[in-house]
Structure 1
Amino acid sequence: MPPIPFTRNYSDHSTDIGFQFEFFCDRCGNGFMSQFRANKLGAAGEIVRGLGNVFGGVFGRVASGSDEMDRLTRGKARDDAFNAAITDLKPLFNQCQRCGTWVCKEVCWNQEVGMCVNCAPKKEGEIEVAKSAAFVQQVREKAMATDFVSDVNIQQKRVVTCPSCGTNTGGAKFCPNCGYNLVPQEQFCTECGSKVPAGAKFCPSCGKKMG
């Protein structure tokens, strides 16, 4: 018997009563199931085994012989069914001459250039992918160029614990427990009018003691 082609990616779902095979696309994994083909020897064995269960004895021994016969003759029956399945399903696949993979015609084959889409992606799909990538990139660039924190003073110190009652403020402007103003207030020297940094004990301009 000559070699059987197209056997790289398939599953055998055969049983002792019949043969069935599933062939898969090497790229996307989509599969196609062949028609079930009954195994005549397997069906005969089932009948003999059924008689053996009813009558026992010699029929039981015949059933065992039938099982053995199945195992001895199954090879050719299976190969014939496999070749028939290949004949039925091979037209649904194409082999890429560049990479050698078998791919489904419907999704993974570029008919325009005669190669799989891994080796020669379809132009329409690549255009849409490029447009989508450009859209995402432009959205990111526009977002980066937009000021979302114009009203946020990052230099302002946040008071986590209220100095008046000790409550956790969560960074609020006023204590949620006692209402204490937690935003540092600007100070000015009563002597010279200069702005004095929060927490300073002396005016940095004239040296007057604060508070």
Structure 2
Amino acid sequence: MSEMQFSNNYRDLSDSQGVDAGFQFEFYCERCSDRWRTHFKPYRSAQASGWLQKGASMFGGMLGNASSVLSGMAQAGWHSARDEAFTEAIAAGKAHFNRCGNCHDYVCATCFDGQNGLCYNCAPNVNVKISQARAQGEVSAASEIANDEGKVRGARRDVTQAMQLVCPQCRAETHGAKFCPECGFKMAQQVSCISCPTLLQPGTRFCTECGTRQS
């Protein structure tokens, strides 16, 4: 058989043995990954062998020899039959996929600019790019405004207040809440010493580190 030229955008679904033996190939677009699959082509020799094997198991091995002979013949002819089926599949697949003139990927009709002979990765659709750029600009502008708003809100937060982020009773995350969302345990909101960075329990009159009286 003559040599075959093919790309790697396919998956071989063929089965060489059993009652379901046959040939089938699945091709995919290298841009969007949409699939196209050939019709299943039975491999009759292997199927017949599979049925004989089932019969041999039912009738106590009486058909075992015939099954072994037929199985050997089927396996011997498998590669040439598979190559023939693959050649047919490649020819059929070319009707569903186009080769990009720049990157040489095989893409489906939806992803191919037939006028330029290029896929849309190499020759993007102008209207799509305009819409994409407009959306990116909108997100960028909104992000800047949201960032400024976040700075305003952050300036109003008390960042000196220490918080228990894990409940000491049930170990649930509290996210700084005054009460545990799981068991209701009251969190001890520590405060900083007015003179040093030491964290103190509420109601502490003197700093345990520097001795400063807390007002």
TM interval, shorter chain, is 0.5 to 0.7
The equivalent residue for 2:212 is none
Structure 1 unmatched ranges of 5 or more: 161-166, 172-176, 179-211
Structure 2 unmatched ranges of 5 or more: 163-187, 193-201, 204-215
Give the counterpart letter for 1:11 in structure 2.
R
The equivalent residue for 2:112 is 109
Structure 1 residue matching 2:140: 3-state secondary structure: helix
Q: CA deviation at 1:130?
A: 0.6
- Asked if residue 98 in structure 1 is aligned to residue 102 in structure 2, the reply is yes
Q: Distance in 2 between matches of 1:87 and 1:157?
A: 69
TM-score when scaled to structure 2?
0.64
Q: Distance in 2 between matches of 1:157 and 1:151?
A: 9
Mark the CA change 1:130 to 1:70 in structure 2 (over 3 Å): closer, same or farther.
Answer: same
Q: How does 1:34-183 map to 2 (within 5 A)?
A: 34-57=38-61, 59-106=63-110, 108-144=111-147, 149=152, 168=189
Count residues in correspondence: 168
Mark the CA change 1:147 to 1:12 in structure 2 (over 3 Å): closer, same or farther.
Answer: closer
Q: CA deviation at 1:61?
A: 1.5
Structure 2 residue matching 1:149: 3-state secondary structure: helix
Q: Which runs of 4+ in 1 moved over 3 A?
A: 54-58, 141-148, 150-154, 156-160, 167-171
Tell me which structure has the larger Cα radius of gyration. 1
Percent identity reads 30
TM-score when scaled to structure 1?
0.65
Mark the CA change 1:140 to 1:45 in structure 2 (over 3 Å): closer, same or farther.
Answer: same
The one-character-per-residue Cα deviations of 1:138-176 (angstroms, maximum 9, x if unpaired) are 21333455586389578x99677xxxxxx84779xxxxx
Give the counterpart letter for 1:9 in structure 2.
N
**Do the aligned residues in 1 keep the contact of 2:45 with 2:71 (CA within 8 Å)?**
no
TM-align CA RMSD:
3.4
Mark the CA change 1:124 to 1:159 in structure 2 (over 3 Å): closer, same or farther.
Answer: closer
Q: Distance in 1 between matches of 2:40 and 2:143?
A: 54
The equivalent residue for 1:30 is 34
**Do the aligned residues in 2 keep the contact of 1:22 with 1:33 (CA within 8 Å)?**
yes
**Do the aligned residues in 1 keep the contact of 2:24 with 2:37 (CA within 8 Å)?**
yes
